Amino acid sequence: MLIELKDIRHIYQLDDPVVALDGVNLEIERGEFLGLIGHTGSGKSTLVQLLNGLLKPSEGQVFFEGRDINSQEVELKEIRRRVGLVFQYPEHQLFEETVARDIAFGPKNAGLSEEEIENRVREALELVGLDYESFKDRSPFNLSGGQQRRIAIAGVLALKPEVLILDEPMAGLDPAGRRKLLELLIHLHRELEITVILISHRMEEIARLADRVLVMDRGKIVLQGRPAEVFTERERLKEIDLDLPVVTDILKKLEEKGLKVRTDIFALEEARDEILSALEKQSQFRESRPC
């Protein structure tokens, strides 16, 4: 087990205290791609901040490779290097004069050699699809929003994390920028075998990418499983006002009208083939359009 959360409660002590997490147990395996969905205030961001020790739970324990990360003998610095967290709108945290120096900030603090730092910066920039030579000396503030976002992510990747957590990384990007970032996540997960935890409000993205989906509501994990299991729980999702992926919604509606289609499909091409073969099967029995 890579990460384990045990009996977590987390309360923000404000004028009137807010229970952000209420009885959360979770195990995450190395190499998983985990999707996290739920409304604002459901506890998603609190949960991920526990995973690298940015927050210490009010109750319960967080284990990384079997060690309680909040105990005396564990160095949080090590955990934060191995568990990278990309916040919402991470480009707001860019601050250095050049792209290279901004990305080097983490590796420098980790005490790496000059040469290693330069290698890391080069690699990280190339991973996010930006050319090292043409970007390294530019000011991060004169770049487009999409480029800034990728540089902020490169800053986390330069630490070579084993786990990468991203909180709404696609928000505000245009469709092309979103596609590029999705491809990057797929690459990091499949080729570099990084464990990825993705928070997103776009059900289509989660359904297509994640091995396992967690649904959060009012501080609890209320549903979890493979995308096919979670997104077939339409009634349960409706209760907490979450939508189905568009393709699933269409297949469900066709099923309700009597067309025999599978509803646990998320990719467009698969849905197309499923609909075509269902229509064909039905028309063998009747002359015209089936239902």
Partner 1 sequence: MSQIEMQGVEFSYRAQQDKALAGIDLKVEKGEFIAVIGANGSGKSTLAKMMNVLLVPDKGSVTINGLTTSDPDNIWQIRQQVGMVFQNPDNQLVATLVEDDVAFGPENLALPTEVIRQRVDQALKTVGMDGYQSHPPHKLSGGQKQRVAIAGILAMLPDCIVLDEPTAMLDPMGRKEVLETISRLNREENITVVLITHFMEEAGLADRVVIMQEGRIRKTGSPREIFRDTGLIAEAGLDVPEVVALANQLRQQGLSLPEVMTADELVDSLC
Contacts of 9 (CB under 8 A, 6+ apart): 19, 21, 22, 23, 24, 57, 58, 59, 60
Span interacting with partner 1, options 53-61, 125-133, 226-234, 264-272, rule CB under 8 A: 264-272
Q: Which is nearer to partner 1, 125 or 261 (CB)?
A: 261
Minimum distance of partner 1 from residue 58's CB (angstroms) = 21
**Contact residue for partner 1 among 172, 224, 234, 236 (CB under 8 A):** 172
CA-nearest of 176, 170, 100, 102 to 136 is 100
HSE-CB of 246 using CA atoms within 13 angstroms: 7
CA-nearest of 57, 51, 67, 63 to 165 is 51
- Count CB neighbours of 223 within 10 A: 20
For residue 284, count CB atoms less than 10 angstroms from its CB and return exposed for 0-12, middle for 13-18, buried for 19 or more: exposed
Work out the angle between the directed axes of helices 145-157 and 114-127 (0-180°, nearest 10).
130
Q: Which is nearer to partner 1, 101 or 208 (CB)?
A: 208
Minimum distance of partner 1 from residue 202's CB (angstroms) = 9
Considering only residues 53-112, where is the footprint of partner 1 by CB under 8 A?
Answer: none
d(CA 227, CA 208): 8
For tokens 């800034």, the residue is 148
Q: Which is nearer to partner 1, 221 or 254 (CB)?
A: 254
Span interacting with partner 1, options 73-81, 133-141, 159-167, 256-264, rule CB under 8 A: 256-264
**Contact residue for partner 1 among 32, 65, 204, 264 (CB under 8 A):** 204
226-255 footprint of partner 1 as x/- string (CB under 8 A): ---------------xxx-xxx-xx--xx-
Minimum distance of partner 1 from residue 275's CB (angstroms) = 6
Minimum distance of partner 1 from residue 56's CB (angstroms) = 25
Considering only residues 133-152, where is the footprint of partner 1 by CB under 8 A?
Answer: 144-146
Stated as kind and residue range, the H or E segment containing 197 is strand 195-199
Which residues are paired to 24 by β-bridges? Answer: 8
Contacts of 109 (CB under 8 A, 6+ apart): none
Minimum distance of partner 1 from residue 291's CB (angstroms) = 4
Would you count residue 129 as binding partner 1 (CB under 8 A)?
no
Q: Which is nearer to partner 1, 10 or 149 (CB)?
A: 149
Terminal Cα-to-Cα distance of the chain (whole angstroms): 49
Would you count residue 177 as binding partner 1 (CB under 8 A)?
yes
Number of H helices, E strands in the chain: 12, 10
Span interacting with partner 1, options 109-117, 174-182, 188-196, 216-224, rule CB under 8 A: 174-182
Minimum distance of partner 1 from residue 75's CB (angstroms) = 35
Residues of this chain that bind partner 1 (CB under 8 A): 39-41, 144-146, 171-179, 201, 203-204, 241-243, 245-247, 249-250, 253-254, 257-259, 268-269, 271-272, 275-276, 279, 289-291
